[in-house]
Amino acid sequence: MSLYGMMRTGVSGMQGQSNRLGTVADNIANSGTNGYKKASAEFSTLMISGGGTSTYSSGGVVTDIRAAVARQGVIQYTTSATDLAIDGNGFFVVQDSSGQPFLTRAGSFVPDDQGRLVNAAGFYLLGYSYANGDPSTTANGFAGLEPVKISQQAMKAVPSTFGTYSANLPAKADIVDAAKLPSENVAGAQYTNKISLVSYDKLGDEVLLDVYFTKKANNEWEVAVYSRADGTATTGFPYSSDALAVQTLTFDPDNGKLTTGSANSIDIPIPGGETMELDLSKMTQLATGFVPGEAEVNGSAASPMKGVKFGDDGTIYAQYGNGSLEALYKIPLANVRSPDRLTVESGNVFSQSADSGDVFFGFAGKGGFGNISSGAIEASNVDIGEELTSMIEAQRSYTANSKVFQTGSELMDILVNLKR
């Protein structure tokens, strides 16, 4: 074994432990950085062939720095709806100010002056917009993604287009004379039961509907719908306009349910609005009184946006004061075949490398991707106890390698001085 080789090996060992201490320093410094993935120094031997001689040629150590990207940190919950965490596989897609895309697990986002969601390192969250319909991922690139903006949306009114109503109609009710049915719209019109439903026109104005259920024959009921605004004071009939819609329901006397051939809904053209389908499929005719059931009608009055809401599938909704939601963006998740081989970049982001594999996309909860949680962040996956232990081990190994170098240096001095 040559003294020079011995000293070179000691230097190699010191260099390797120096790299290890560097990763420990980075890990400890970033132990409080959201989404940070710990770095570690992995060693492998470097052997130098002795050329078939009996003299041993010492080699050294080769250092490979790896990041534990696939190792998830602890999910911590916050009070901010725009804090996002991924529980499982995947990365958020972000971009820098120049538009270059990256991957990250750091999900602490806040709106900037333009309403764009940006994290602490200045990277903007990307998503697919609902402006052109229900979005889908791009299979082979970042095309279609754009910065997510949650700036104040315009006031919005939603016209009614669908509703449901269920009730039991009394089987033993009297049959009403055909000339006095509500659909005839005459003074003194008779009906069996009446309800009112609130609907909305295109401007968000309330349109109150009077819905009459009238027994016109055995097991046959007329449903007539009028606009309350057209009714005569105190009596309703006659209305100034004909019925908005009329339908006949036919019941099976054996079970009290609608027959197979009966209508089970009624289409109502809302004045100033859309045509609303009212689902009546759960109506019954049993030997008891009128028993109203559930009544639901979609649509809403004009209301300003009061905040945003995140769905489990990554959909971002504008939430209005009246409780209605409007889908704005859908956040995709990205992944690669070997996350630990991604290139680590400044700002706690990653980029694709030759060893990581190509980036592919999907949505939360599908295709092996994790779930997105709002009001939560992923903490660093650094364990301070492990890092302090590694620091002590690296320090001792560095000292031992320095002793090897020092011994080689002393022996070299003896060898040089032999001739004196």
Q: Which domain holds residue 391?
A: 3-68+381-417
Same domain, 200 and 252: yes
Q: How far apart are CA 131 and CA 261, in angstroms?
A: 41
Same domain, 161 and 45: no
Q: What are the angstrom distances between the C-alpha of 13 and each of 20, 64, 393, 407?
A: 11, 13, 13, 14
What's the pLDDT at 85?
Answer: 94
What's the pLDDT at 311?
Answer: 87
Q: What are the angstrom distances between the C-alpha of 369 and each of 93, 137, 240, 255?
A: 14, 13, 59, 48
Q: Is residue 382 within 8 Å of 36, Cβ to Cβ?
A: yes
Same domain, 231 and 362: no
Same domain, 292 and 169: yes
Q: How far apart are CA 122 and CA 224, in angstroms?
A: 60
Two structure tokens written together for 310: 């995140």
Choosing from 269, 302, 335, the residue where a domain stops is 302
Report the number of distinct structural domains present in the chain: 3
User: Token match 């992944």: residue?
Assistant: 335
Same domain, 291 and 164: yes
Same domain, 184 and 293: yes
Same domain, 141 and 209: no
312-333 confidence digits (pLDDT tens): 889 998 888 777 788 899 999 9
Same domain, 190 and 257: yes
Q: Is residue 320 within 8 Å of 301, Cβ to Cβ?
A: no
Same domain, 169 and 280: yes
Smallest CA-to-CA distance from 222 within 260, 169, 186 is with 169
192-240 confidence digits (pLDDT tens): 999 999 999 999 899 999 999 999 999 999 999 999 999 988 888 999 9
What's the CATH code of the domain at 200? 2.60.98.20
Q: What is the pTM for the complete model shown?
A: 0.68
Same domain, 42 and 64: yes
Ranges of the chain with pLDDT below 50: none
